[in-house]
Every structure is written in C-alpha cells, then in structure tokens.
Amino acid sequence: MAINKIIDKINQETAAEVAAMMSEAQKKADVNAAKIVAAAKAKVKEIEEQAKLDADEVSRRQVLIAELESRKAALNVQREVLEQAFTEAEKKLQQLPADQWEKLITKLILEGSQTGTEKLLVPAADKPRYEQGFLTKLNQALTAAGKPGKLTLSPEAGKFNGGVVLEGADSDYDGSFPTLLKIFRSKYEHDVAEILFRAEVK
C-alpha cells in the first residue's frame, strides 16, 4: 500500500514536471511563432515596398524613354522640313526668271573672277544663254569693274544644276548653286530653323 502511494506520488510529481515543461515549451513555441510571423510580415512589407519602388522606377524609365522617342521624332520631322526647304530653295534658283538669273550670275562672276580671263564651266542647259550674248555682257561688266573682260566658255559642260564655276590658271571659284546652298546652309541653318519652327533649335 505504501509503495503504491509512493509510486502515485512520483507519478504526480513527474506529471507536474512534464506539464510545467510542456507549458514552458508551449510559451517558447508561441514566442518563436510570433517572431517568425513578425519577420515574415516585415519581409512581405519590404518586398512590397521594393516592388513599388521598382514599379515607380520602371514607370519613370518608360516616361523618360517615351519623352526621348518623342523628341527624336520631332527632330527627325524638323530635319525633313529643313531638307525640304533647302531643296525647294535650289529648285527656285534653277527656275529664276531670266533677268534675275543674269543678275545673280553677274554678281558671282564679279566676285569670283581674279584675272578676268577665266574659263566658265556651266551646265549644258545654260550654255545657249552664254552663247547668245550673255558672255559678252559678263565681259563688259568685268571691263567696267577694271578687269580684263576675256572670259571664255569651257568646252565641257558642268555636272551640276545651275550656277557657274570659274576655272583659273591658279585656282577655281565654285559658284554652282549646290555649293552656294551648301555654304549658306552651314552658316544659316540655325536661323532658318528658327524661322520655320519659331523656337530655339539646339
């Protein structure tokens, strides 16, 4: 009988110790679980915030790319318009009325002639004008300007559209319309762009 009571007592004490150990283990498990949940929530929040930052960065980059593409397209259009403007200018030069054409060529000859004895290289389409009296007028203009009026026509035809090239003994003067427009464009393209687009062009 006494032995049974002792065993019961041991069992009771052991059960109490086990219960205490289980309770302590449960508390630790709860604490650990809470820490794990808190860490998980913090990680989720961190991921969400990073995702938002990434999304904002992607959005910012997309807007920047769109703006750059838009500016690029606008510049391409402006270049096309400028190209068209200078192409039209060349066409108008080639289609000048006879009196304006003669005035322009005379000015080019007076500015470009150094000796008054150069050969004139001109487009095939313009040769008849020179042969029908215009060459004589040019030599008279040179004489009036104090230079020998001894210009002659080159037997060759110039491979350019409009204008004239003076072939001298030491140097040539290129007064062809394509060259004149190229020089004009290099000097005044920015000003022409401002006139066309009424905005600062960089």
Structure-token pair, residue 168: 């001298």
Beta strands in 72-178 (DSSP E): 119-123, 152-158, 163-167, 172-176
- pLDDT (average), residues 16-39: 58
Kindly give, in sequence order, each residue whose CB lies less than 8 Å from that of residue 163, ignoring residues fewer than 6 positions away.
93, 105, 108, 122, 123, 175, 176, 177, 178, 179, 180
Structure-token pair, residue 130: 């020179």
- Asked whether the CA dihedral 65, 67, 71, 76 is positive or negative, the reply is positive
Residue 26: pLDDT above 80?
Answer: no
105 HSE (CA, 13 A, CB side)? 27
Q: What whole-number distance in Å separates Cα of residue 133 and Cα of residue 118?
A: 17
Q: What is the per-residue pLDDT across 77-122, written as a single tens digit (0 to 9) for each?
A: 767 777 777 788 778 888 889 999 999 999 999 999 999 999 999 9
Q: What whole-number distance in Å separates Cα of residue 40 and Cα of residue 123?
A: 85
Residue 9: pLDDT above 70?
Answer: no
pTM to 2 decimals? 0.57
Q: What is the per-residue pLDDT across 154-196, written as a single tens digit (0 to 9) for each?
A: 999 999 889 999 999 888 999 999 898 888 887 777 776 676 6
Residue type, 124: A
Query: Which residue in this structure is represented by tokens 């403007």?
Result: 85
Sheet holding 163-167, edge to edge: 152-158, 119-123, 163-167, 172-176
List the Cα angle 93/98/101 in 5-degree steps. 40
* Host H or E run for residue 36: helix 2-94
Q: How far is Cα of residue 192 from the mean position of the Cα atoms in its chain?
A: 18
Q: What is the pLDDT of residue 21?
A: 52
